[in-house]
Structure 1
Amino acid sequence: MTSRKNSSLIEVVYVGKIIMILFLTMSSCQRQVSCHKGDIEIIDVLNRNHPIEINLYDIVDSVKYVPLGTGECLLSEIECIKNDGKFYFVKDSRGVFVFDEEGYFINEVGHRGIGLGEYVYSDNFYLDRDNKLVCLICNSERKFYNILIWELILIQFN
């Protein structure tokens, strides 16, 4: 009889723990669409179920269109564009390409291929402005490629 009481008590404690964990989990789940931190409004861009319409001129002061001269470099499926102040870095499905501030093609970042120092596919890239590096992120190879190109570009114009 004592063993049956102990097993009932253990079941009650076990169920109680599960209910407590579920309660804590459910009560801690919150979704915040937007909030204000000082004078800066934070917008939840991952809120795909309830999209909001934003006028471009509500979040930027001016827009500058730079037509890219792609005679030497044909672009397809542009995924990302970054600017360092002097150059535009454009990533498409084939690689990362550099254009000057007027939109003229300068260079491709690195070389695609399977040889030494080449990359198969660039998943993303970031600009290390302090060291003047373009870092290609290649997830399939689990490598970062640091390609020093800003100095080479500046030498070409002098």
Structure 2
Amino acid sequence: MKQYSKRTALMHWIIFILILIAFYLGHEVAESKDAAGKLAMYPAHFLIGDLILILTLVRIWFRKKDGAPADANANPLLNKAASLTHLGLNLVILATAISGFITVVTSGLLDAFKANDPSLIPDFHKVPAKEFHELFIGIMVLLVVLHVAAALYHQFVVKDNLLRRIMIKRFED
């Protein structure tokens, strides 16, 4: 097997795009001084977080069912680093989504939604799950940067066409 299955590759790119959107919305919500605007943006952030959680589980199942290409490198240490990075990415994506869900449920934010009252938006600095959510986001950013840097290194320095493995388009070679 030279490439990930089409459906695994498709899930990879959809999840990546959703993470970028969730990160942007989360940043906008956190920085906004407009309580009504925050209340309006939260549902989109939550929906995308829920989609990320579900699609990540689906992608993991697809990868398990469809298999994965052989290791890209002959160096066992680099292969182990790649495996641990992929595992870490999956775990931190799931942990981020779950901690976001727990934040919503335990913070009282649902009361603000039910009442459609921005004044009921809680102080998230007092919500432990929010601290974990932010920690997981930071770890995710680091792992994504590592993942992208390694992929670009393979593609442009090693020149082994590693990116072909995760492309949706099928290549013959």
- Give the TM-score of the pair, scaled to structure 1: 0.23
- Give the TM-score of the pair, scaled to structure 2: 0.22
**Which one has a larger percent helix, Structure 1 or Structure 2?**
2
Higher relative contact order (CA 8 A, sep 6+): 2
**Which one has a larger percent strand, Structure 1 or Structure 2?**
1
